[in-house]
Amino acid sequence: MGDTGTTPRERYRAQVRAEIKEHAWEQIATAGASALSLNAIAKRMGVSGPALYRYFANRDELITALIRDAYRSLADTFRTAAESGADVSALAHALRGWALEDPQRYFLVYGTPVPGYHAPDDVTTIASEIMTTLLDAYAGLPSEGGPETPFDAHLADHRKWADGHPAPSATLHRALSCWTRLHGVLSLELAGHFTGMGFDPALLFTAELNDLT
């Protein structure tokens, strides 16, 4: 055990916070994020309701922390994969694996937005970190010789994001297409819109991916 420079009390706090989050995820997996209740978590932990207020100021702060963790978790999955030399295809499968691991966590990030809720700024930062990893994977590929599309031209003029990135707009376009296509299959699959159709969604995912690289 390395000395992390934290006091025992700080370590204890971090541990309890983590335990609370774990129970929160369980509850979300069972009944959806909108059913998340501090009291219910406390009951599961064998602790009184108000005890949790030592660790999270209120329900909203807990949810925000969960959202942040979910983004962070995907960003780390991506970064780790990229550092091991993952190409676009490997990144795509990492995304799919991450989503299947906990569908409700996926939906907390990419599912129905709650009207009025605004994610904090740092979450936006993590989101663009994720996209950048994918973009980098495309930037490493030889660029396809196709003609410039109207959307490429539009991107050249309007890319506020990835503005400093060296990749040309055509590459940014490819990364965006990839991103949306993967989420198209994933979100429909995880929401159960393919059940009863007989085919294996994994193969559709791969088929989409093959069109993309």
Which residues form the interface with DNA (CB under 7 A)?
7-9, 12-13, 16, 36-40, 43, 47-51, 53-55, 58-60
The CA distances from residue 170 to 135, 142, 184, in Å, are: 11, 12, 21
Q: Residue 176's CB: how many other CB atoms inside 10 A?
A: 19
Binding residues for a second copy (CB under 8 A): 29-35, 104, 107, 110-116, 124, 127, 149-151, 154-155, 158-162, 173, 176-177, 179-185, 187-188, 190-193, 196-200, 203-204, 206-208, 210-211
The CA distances from residue 99 to 39, 64, 81, 189, 191, in Å, are: 28, 19, 15, 10, 12
Nearer to DNA, 13 or 183 (CB): 13
Residue 9 partner contact from DNA, a second copy, none using kind-dependent CB cut-offs of 5 to 8 Å: DNA
Residue 84 partner contact from DNA, a second copy, none using kind-dependent CB cut-offs of 5 to 8 Å: none
Rounded to a whole number of angstroms, the minimum distance from the CB of residue 60 to DNA is: 6
Rounded to a whole number of angstroms, the minimum distance from the CB of residue 1 to a second copy is: 38
Nearer to DNA, 59 or 93 (CB): 59
DSSP 18-52: HHHHHHHHHHHHHH-GGG--HHHHHHHHTS-GGGG
DSSP type of residue 114: P
